[in-house]
A and B are shown apart, each in its own frame.
Chain A
Amino acid sequence: AQSVTQPDIHITVSEGASLELRCNYSYGATPYLFWYVQSPGQGLQLLLKYFSGDTLVQGIKGFEAEFKRSQSSFNLRKPSVHWSDAAEYFCAVGAKGGSEKLVFGKGTKLTVNP
């Protein structure tokens, strides 16, 4: 079964600074990989996803993520954080050839200081 680890529970950055959120997965092959964002009191919104091909994936709101097979990682990055990026970020994996089920990491809460 697939699993996902987000090592950082809480990250604080200053507005305008760069951001990297870490995600490591465990799965026998390359799974489907996703990053979702959840603002307080809201549902989740997909930022980007990786299935295959180019290992650098562009998403919405200026986010990108890089898939590294050798490290079983799918880290999320943004070059310049805005105050509105403060939210909870979830990495999720889905099994190829499996069901509709996604397994979510425990999340990283991002705080942005002015």
Chain B
Amino acid sequence: DTEVTQTPKHLVMGMTNKKSLKCEQHMGHRAMYWYKQKAKKPPELMFVYSYEKLSINESVPSRFSPECPNSSLLNLHLHALQPEDSALYLCASSQGGGGTAANEQFFGPGTRLTVL
């Protein structure tokens, strides 16, 4: 299984809502990533978990809260978002973790988030 799955595919939420995005992989990868991608822009790294520990936080606002409950799952909890947070949120995973950019990142299809 070389697939990264993300749920939901689409999400519409109000600025006062709390929601969560979910990502799952069963490739035995030990690094997992959250990216934000605005329309016609490249992906921007938000967080990296390596061996279930947060290793990179790219100064993301606290209204985004990542969680890695186990080596296969990655969540992104959303609270009090702003309309400018509307974007495609991509999850990725790579083998090994361990602080290297050498490993291929496998991406999920993303969650299209709209904040009203």
Contacts and interface: CB of A to CB of B under 8 A. Distances in A.
A and B pair up: yes
Given A41-B109, A106-B41, A100 B94 contact: yes
A46 B42 contact: no
A99 B108 CA distance: 21
Contacts of A114: none
B42 A51 contact: no
A80 B92 CA distance: 30
Given A99-B55, A101-B56, A42 B109 contact: yes
Interface string A73-114: 000000000000000001000111011111011110000000
Interface in B6-29: none
Interface in B64-104: 90, 92, 94, 97, 99-104
B45 interface: yes
Contacts of B33: 100
Contacts, number: 72
Interface string A35-66: 01000011111100101000000000000000
B105 interface: yes
Contacts of B56: 99-101
B90 A101 contact: no
Given A44-B92, A46-B105, A104-B44, 11 more contacts: A43-B92, A43-B107, A44-B90, A94-B100, A94-B101, A98-B99, A100-B56, A100-B99, A101-B101, A104-B42, A106-B41
